[in-house]
Amino acid sequence: TAWPAMKRNPLPQRRPKVQKRKADKAAKITQKNPTPPCAAIPKMKSLKNKISESIASYTARTGTAPQRPGAVLFDMDGVLYNSMPFHARSWNLLFSEIGIDMPEQEVYLHEGRTGASTVTAIFERELHRQPTEDEILRLYRRKTELFAGMGAVKVMTGARETVNICRRAGATTVIVTGSGQGTLLDRLDSDFDCAFPAPSQRITAYDVTHGKPDPEPYLKGIAKAGTSPWQSVGIDNAPLGVESSSRAGLFTIGVNTGPLPSGTLKAAGADLELDSMEECAEALGILLL
């Protein structure tokens, strides 16, 4: 898969050599073992096909061919950190304490909204009224308490590799998160080797007027990176986040790291839907290196 801009911004031609080495290796394996050599080769091929299709879909959707990305914009919860199971469980526990059933899976559909907006949506649906400001404050404080009690959040498997590939390719890495929680933002520098310095490469809850699914957070992210939408990739795991990136005009990768049914992120506007950050690292390796 070549970005149409490869001509405009040529990179050292490393890929043909890699492909040749791979082809030589595959040929050797085939000689030794006439049965199908390994499952990874068809899988790689199908990922390349998916990427080609997604570039075509982006071009059809925006009327502009994507160029080789100068920036990659990352959502935080559920992309860089495996924090969503804790968020889902703490929202579910919180509402069960006041007699409301909010299935954990539903939390992923609200992901990207502010806490106040989530409480309001559930109150309107279940209690047919708006929450008071005091209720919002009290419930969100309790939710934060439940979340903090669940232990240390781990870096998502494959996230460091994905970030490192972007850096090796010379792409600017930017965080675009609706979160304002210090617990994870404070860890970014040590967990990701200063790939997201504050404030030059971060958009958080405090930087935007309209949160996801509005395009504002991703538009502000590309402004920080100094690139254009068609020269940028957005990576998000939630339908509202994917919608935000897609509406901002970025080539959008939806990574379904949670329990959403397959196809949900494509339906929300993702050009490419992947199943894990490990697969995302593989895809960015193909796109950028």
Interface residue list for Ca ion (CB under 5 A) = 75, 77-78, 237-238
244: nearest Cα among 75, 47, 61: 75
Q: Are 70 and 171 in contact (CB under 8 A)?
A: yes
CB of residue 74 vs Ca ion: minimum separation in angstroms? 10
68 vs 113, which CB is nearer to Ca ion?
A: 113
What residue number has its CB nearest to Ca ion? 78
Residue 19: Cβ within 10 Å count:
10
CB of residue 77 vs Ca ion: minimum separation in angstroms? 4
107 vs 139, which CB is nearer to Ca ion?
A: 107
Q: Which two tokens stand for residue 147?
A: 């979340």
CB of residue 230 vs Ca ion: minimum separation in angstroms? 23
112 vs 131, which CB is nearer to Ca ion?
A: 112
55 vs 238, which CB is nearer to Ca ion?
A: 238
CB of residue 231 vs Ca ion: minimum separation in angstroms? 23
Q: What does the buried/exposed string (b/e) look like for 196-214 if buried means 16 or more CB atoms within 10 Å of the residue's CB? A: beeeebbbbeebbeebbbb
68 vs 110, which CB is nearer to Ca ion?
A: 110
238 vs 270, which CB is nearer to Ca ion?
A: 238
Q: Are 253 and 274 in contact (CB under 8 A)?
A: yes
Residue 85: Cβ within 10 Å count:
16
CB of residue 253 vs Ca ion: minimum separation in angstroms? 13
Look at the block and give the residue holding tokens 């290796």. Answer: 25
Q: Are 58 and 66 in contact (CB under 8 A)?
A: yes
CB of residue 241 vs Ca ion: minimum separation in angstroms? 5
CB of residue 275 vs Ca ion: minimum separation in angstroms? 15
In angstroms, the CA 113 to CA 110 distance is 6
166: nearest Cα among 56, 283, 258: 283
68 vs 220, which CB is nearer to Ca ion?
A: 220
SS3 content of the chain, % helix, strand, coil (to 5): 55, 10, 35
Q: Which run of H or E residues covers position 134? A: helix 133-148
67 vs 246, which CB is nearer to Ca ion?
A: 246
For strands 71-74 and 232-236, give the pairing. parallel
- Asked if the bond preceding 199 is cis, omega within 30° of 0, the reply is yes
In angstroms, the CA 233 to CA 70 distance is 8
